[in-house]
Every structure is written in C-alpha cells, then in structure tokens.
Amino acid sequence: MTNNNRVQLTFFILVLMIIGIFPSLGSANSNKILSNGQSVYVPVYSHIYHGDQEKKFNLTATLSIRNTNLKKDIVLNSIDYFDSNGELLKNYLEDPIVLKKFSTIRYVIKAKDKSGGSGAKFIVRWKSETLSNAPIIEAIMISTQSQQGISFVSRGQAIHE
C-alpha cells in the first residue's frame, strides 16, 4: 500500500469515526416519535471502496432492532433485504414476530456475502396496537483487513411507501 493510499484510508476512517460519534444527527429517531407503525429504510454496506483503484473492503453487517418501549411489545411484520439495484434478496420473516418490551433482535450479513453490494438496504415494517415509541433500527458494519479496522453505524429512516 502506497503512502498516499494510507493517507486516504486514514482520512476515510477518521470521517467514518466522526460520523459514528454523532449517529443521531438528522436521523429518524433523534426526537421522540410515537407511532402505530412504520416502514423503516436502513442503509447497509456489504463493502466499501478504498484507494485509487476502488479496491473493495468487505464488511460484516448486523441489523439491530431495539424496542425502546419499557411497557409495550411491538410486532415486526417484515424484514426484507435488497441489493444495490433494489432487487429483493431475502425475506427474513415468514410470519410476523413479537418484539417484547425493551428487547432487541439482530440479523447478521456475513462479510463473505457480497450479494447486497455497497448500496444494500433493509426495509423493516413494524406495527403496534397502540401508540408506541419508535424502535431504534440500525445497521452496524465492521471489518478488519491488513492491520486496518473499520466500523460504523447507519441508522434507519422512516419512509412512506
């Protein structure tokens, strides 16, 4: 790795670290939201690029869904994983599941699974019988290669379909 590539990679990692320190800025959950349900778009990166030749840096991604309500369960209706072109790759739920009050569930995309690409995404649909706190839905990406380590978080954004 050339010195210029090291500088670029170091700068890129620094930017990602800064973004990771302030993940709630501009996110869907930066304010308390009460809802009966949402569709949430969560960006995921199977890999990122570095260097002048846009070399791929593969990442393991974890989708984390946290019910922030201390007293109420929510229902996860669907968790769908899409590639960079918007093609559905996998439905993670065959049937809706209950996410108990104040609990968390996670799904892992292994680093060797490159099917999503750099523009992969999840759409998570949840419902509640009564107004409830919106869950925190994040993707955490991490990897280590060639004595370099990288990790960052992308937070879900409520969307209208």
pLDDT at 83 over 70: yes
pLDDT at 17 over 90: no
pLDDT digits (tens, 9 = 90+) for 120-147: 999 999 999 999 999 999 999 999 877 8
Q: Domains of the chain: which residue ranges?
A: 3-159
More confident: 73 or 23: 73
**Residue 34: Cβ-neighbour burial (10 angstroms; 0-12, 13-18, 19+):** exposed
Task: Tell me the backbone φ, ψ of residue 82, rounded to 5 degrees.
Answer: -120, 155
Number of H helices and E strands in the chain, helices first, is 1, 12
CA distance 91 to 69: 25
Within 10 Å of residue 40's Cβ, how many Cβ atoms?
Answer: 23
Q: How confident is residue 15, by pLDDT bands cut at 50, 70 and 90? A: low
CA distance 102 to 135: 9
Q: Look at residues 4, 118, 140, 134 and name the one whose alpha carbon lies nearest to residue 62.
A: 140
CA distance 117 to 68: 30
pLDDT at 29: 45
pLDDT at 19 over 90: no
CATH 2.60.120 is the classification of domain 3-159: no
**Would the pTM of this model clear 0.75, i.e. be above it?**
yes
Asked which of 35-44, 48-57, 84-93, 98-107 is least confident by mean pLDDT, the reply is 48-57
The helix/strand/coil state of 30 is coil
pLDDT above 70 covers a percentage of the chain that reads 80
CA distance 32 to 44: 24
CA distance 38 to 157: 10
